[in-house]
Amino acid sequence: MTYRRISTVRLAITGTGAAALAATAVLLPGADAATAAPASVAVQAKSAAAVVAQLGDRAAGSYYDAQSRQLVVNITDPSAAQQVRGAGAVPRVVRYSAAQLHAAAVTLAKQARIVGTAWALDPRQDKVVVTADPTVTGAKRTRLAAVVNSLGDKAVLRHTASPFKPLAAGGDAIWGSGVRCSLGFNVSVGGAPYFLTAGHCGNASSTWSDSQGGGEIGQTVDSQFPGTDYALVQYDDPGADHPSAVDLYDGSAQQITRAADAYVGEQVQRSGSTTGVYGGSVTGLDATVNYQEGTVSGLIDTNVCAEPGDSGGALFDGDAAIGMTSGGSGDCTSGGETFFQPVTAALAAEGAGIP
């Protein structure tokens, strides 16, 4: 059997299940696709991350300032400024260290794990940004506000207009038993072909096809959701066409040669089978989302839109695989917020690599 190329996966749960967004993206006329950051920025970001690690409690994360086109490293100790400059970044003195912000996030996890809430570390504000969707009302809203207030200016609370829900994302559509998702990235494990998609997709089906009602092309061998949100699917035919590419929905594809960690301020693109290709930027890291189905942590927070059926789809920056669509709120008409499972974490957990 000959399989067509699959670059990403989308999911739409049928029946009375929770709605999911497919992260497949199409490049629509007039759509705002993000421009990939220059390779030099990625190198600088890695260097900045290394300095942050070396500085420990004297640092509070880093981010890319698109206006000045410079990597900024937050520091709590002014004497670390020279070390930051030596790494090619700009030092910025802030009040709270990364450890203090992580401690604030731990407090939220212990005292405010409420369905419909999310939080992420934003080094640009030197705060934990907490978000509540419209389902957080009454006593829950009061409780959340009290916990955020107890953190002082280490945290800020905002509200979103639509509920958080798992999203199906990626490139080409894949079909399971009663679900439709998007394929994230083709990968290899021990030389054999597999692909990654969202864990809430993998939980929904043990087998997958590249067309509705079509023949099986692969089987879910591992699925992690909630907690994290990724699934590993093994192709039935080791000789199947499984290029390392993402569908751009304009007749072309973006080749993927590596996996990389996201950084705040990074310009990224998402491909999904429902909406095609849309762009935006990374707004926060180490994000936690409290879905109705459970809590997922360690996510990438972005202002990229997605819609039902986009779950599992690819988040990428040029030739670098960054993440797979997990969930979010909003849509691609009014805009939205979308969370992504980091690819590097999924690859490490599964012993997989980009082909």
Give the residue numbers annotated as catalytic, written as ranges: 200, 229, 311
d(CA 72, CA 112): 31
The residues, any chain, with a CB within 8 Å of residue 32's CB and separated by 6 or more, are 278, 279, 280
84 neighbors 61 (Cβ within 8 angstroms): no
Q: How many CB atoms lie within 10 A of CB 113?
A: 11
Per DSSP, 292 falls in state T
Per DSSP, 9 falls in state B
One-letter amino acid for residue 351 of the chain? G
One-letter amino acid for residue 299 of the chain? L
d(CA 280, CA 305): 8
d(CA 253, CA 170): 13
Token reading at 118: 């999310």
Token reading at 147: 């916990």
Q: H helices of 19-160, where? A: 39-55, 81-86, 98-111, 138-150
Per DSSP, 244 falls in state S
